[in-house]
């Protein structure tokens, strides 16, 4: 399975893993909550790159015993990755509040060498930034990169977009970099760097600054990853995006006008993964209609949007749709189409 993964993804994964190990060592030496948050950000980046393994051909080949195989595995991988980020954000928020409200922050920096602490913080800022950059740009075309592009903007991105519009008003040349919205991973790099830098600068004078910076960082991570979790969660719940649903409704309207079709009923469509839509529909036709012609025409209308389509042709043998289900033996077999 690993041999089928692209070299770029494998290199990015092992690079993030190595950076995470180094950050774990730095955190153990510096004893700082905000550096713990940086380490968890690197873990998040490693998981984001690792989610691309689910798209390897050998992984998909193992799915012959299931109706749709492991098509939803990439969605589940990205959902798990974003949920991990939210869980460690909640954990760090709890730790920050305990340090702010309790007496856990007593003199931990007094015994540290000032140069060593500065070195740890600067290394953490650089390594975390590199890790997030690798996650953002080494998985181009992979599931996580797709979610970064199509998910709704987070509150942090919306505020950054407002600031960017003001900057671009005075410097129009920056619009290509800052508009329409900044990459979520780039924003996390800036938030982490700002929290770490200010903790290094003011942490010795104000003991509460480290947990407060960690609290702000955790809120930023949670709000940034929430749209990712919502987008992938809706796919796992077998729903469709509003813009896709509008296209499906238009196709259903066109299919209902096909000669011989009386009604399209029990239609259910959902996103199978990031690029495929599955669905099923019952088509009630006139008694004198040609089943094969109607089937081909209806499928032609729907398969432009629906990738995996199951159609059941039902002859009009009763006066109402409800009574039709009493004549199950007269139904035509199911027809499944996949493109």
Q: What is the CATH number of the domain that holds 331?
A: 3.30.70.1350
pLDDT at position 104: 54
167 token code pair: 């900057």
In 45-174, DSSP assigns E strands to: none
| 50 and 151 housed in the same domain | yes
Q: Is-contact 255 293, C-beta < 8 A?
A: no
Statement: residue 310 has pLDDT above 60: yes
| Single residue among 181, 209, 236 that ends a domain in this structure | 236
Chain segment 264-293, per-residue pLDDT in tens:
888 888 888 888 888 888 888 888 888 888
Number of domains in the chain: 2
| Single residue among 178, 206, 236 that ends a domain in this structure | 236
Statement: residue 148 has pLDDT above 50: yes
| 157 and 41 housed in the same domain | yes
| 52 and 110 housed in the same domain | yes
Average pLDDT, the chain: 83
| 26 and 57 housed in the same domain | yes
Statement: residue 122 has pLDDT above 90: yes
What is the pLDDT confidence band of residue 259, given thresholds at 50, 70 and 90?
confident
| 167 and 196 housed in the same domain | yes
| Single residue among 236, 260, 292 that ends a domain in this structure | 236
Q: Is-contact 44 25, C-beta < 8 A?
A: no
Q: Which of 194-198, 317-321, 327-331 has the highest mean pLDDT?
A: 194-198
In the chain, DSSP assigns E strands to: 261-271, 277-285, 308-315, 334-338
| 298 and 228 housed in the same domain | no
pLDDT at position 106: 47
Statement: residue 112 has pLDDT above 60: no
What is the pLDDT confidence band of residue 111, given thresholds at 50, 70 and 90?
very low
| 221 and 109 housed in the same domain | yes
| 43 and 64 housed in the same domain | yes
| 180 and 56 housed in the same domain | yes
Chain segment 52-71, per-residue pLDDT in tens:
888 776 666 555 565 666 77
Report the distance separating Cα 292 and Cα 267, nearest Å: 20
Statement: residue 89 has pLDDT above 60: yes
Q: Is-contact 322 332, C-beta < 8 A?
A: no
| 228 and 329 housed in the same domain | no
Q: Is-contact 78 143, C-beta < 8 A?
A: yes
pLDDT at position 58: 61
| 129 and 171 housed in the same domain | yes
Statement: residue 144 has pLDDT above 80: yes
What strands lie across the sheet with 261-271, from one edge to the other? 261-271, 277-285, 308-315, 334-338
| 63 and 199 housed in the same domain | yes
Going from the C-alpha of 212 to that of each of 209, 268, 288, the distances in angstroms are 5, 48, 75
Report the distance separating Cα 158 and Cα 128, nearest Å: 23
Sign of the CA dihedral running 103, 216, 210, 47: positive
Statement: residue 206 has pLDDT above 50: yes
Least confident of 13-17, 51-55, 126-130, 172-176: 172-176
What is the pLDDT confidence band of residue 246, given thresholds at 50, 70 and 90?
confident
Chain segment 95-109, per-residue pLDDT in tens:
999 988 875 544 444
If DSSP codes are grouped into helix, strand and coil, which group holds residue 152?
A: coil
What is the pLDDT confidence band of residue 161, given thresholds at 50, 70 and 90?
confident
Q: Is-contact 37 192, C-beta < 8 A?
A: yes
Please indicate, yes or no, whether the overall pTM of this predicted structure exceeds 0.85. Answer: no
What is the pLDDT confidence band of residue 211, given thresholds at 50, 70 and 90?
very high
Least confident of 62-66, 101-105, 303-307, 315-319: 62-66
Report the distance separating Cα 44 and Cα 131, nearest Å: 9
**Residues of the domain holding 102:** 2-236
pLDDT at position 76: 92
User: Other CB atoms closer than 10 Å to residue 194's CB: what's the count?
Assistant: 15
Statement: residue 133 has pLDDT above 80: yes
């Amino acid at each position: 399975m690993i041999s089928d993964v692209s070299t770029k993804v494998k290199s990015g994964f092992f690079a993030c893993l190595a950076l995470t190990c180094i950050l774990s060592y730095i955190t153990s030496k510096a004893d700082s909550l905000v550096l713990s948050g940086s380490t968890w950000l690197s873990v998040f980046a490693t998981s984001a790159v690792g989610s691309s393994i689910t798209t390897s051909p050998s992984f998909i080949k193992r799915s012959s015993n299931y109706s749709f195989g492991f098509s939803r595995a990439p969605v589940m991988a990205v959902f798990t990755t974003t949920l991990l980020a939210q869980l460690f954000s909640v954990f760090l928020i709890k730790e920050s509040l305990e340090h702010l409200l309790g007496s856990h922050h007593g003199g931990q920096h007094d015994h540290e060498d000032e140069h060593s602490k500065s070195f740890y913080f600067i290394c953490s800022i650089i390594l975390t930034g590199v890790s997030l950059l690798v996650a953002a740009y080494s998985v181009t075309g992979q599931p996580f990169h797709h979610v970064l592009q199509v998910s709704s903007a987070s509150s942090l991105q919306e505020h950054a977009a407002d600031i960017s519009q003001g900057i671009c008003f005075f410097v129009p040349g920056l619009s290509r970099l800052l508009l329409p919205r900044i990459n979520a991973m780039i924003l996390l790099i800036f938030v982490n760097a700002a929290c770490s830098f200010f903790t290094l600068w003011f942490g010795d004078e104000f003991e509460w600054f480290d947990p407060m910076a960690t609290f702000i960082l955790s809120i930023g991570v949670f709000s940034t990853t929430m749209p990712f979790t919502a987008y992938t969660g809706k796919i796992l719940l077998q729903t469709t995006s509003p813009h896709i649903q509008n296209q499906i409704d238009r196709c259903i309207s066109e299919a209902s006008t096909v000669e011989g079709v009386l009604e399209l009923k029990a239609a259910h469509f959902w996103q199978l993964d990031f690029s495929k839509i599955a669905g099923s529909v019952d088509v009630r036709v006139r008694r004198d209609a040609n089943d094969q012609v109607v089937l081909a025409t209806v499928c032609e209308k729907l398969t432009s949007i629906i990738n995996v389509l199951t159609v059941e042709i039902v002859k009009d043998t009763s006066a109402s749709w409800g009574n039709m289900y009493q004549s199950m033996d007269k139904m035509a077999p199911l027809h499944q189409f996949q493109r």
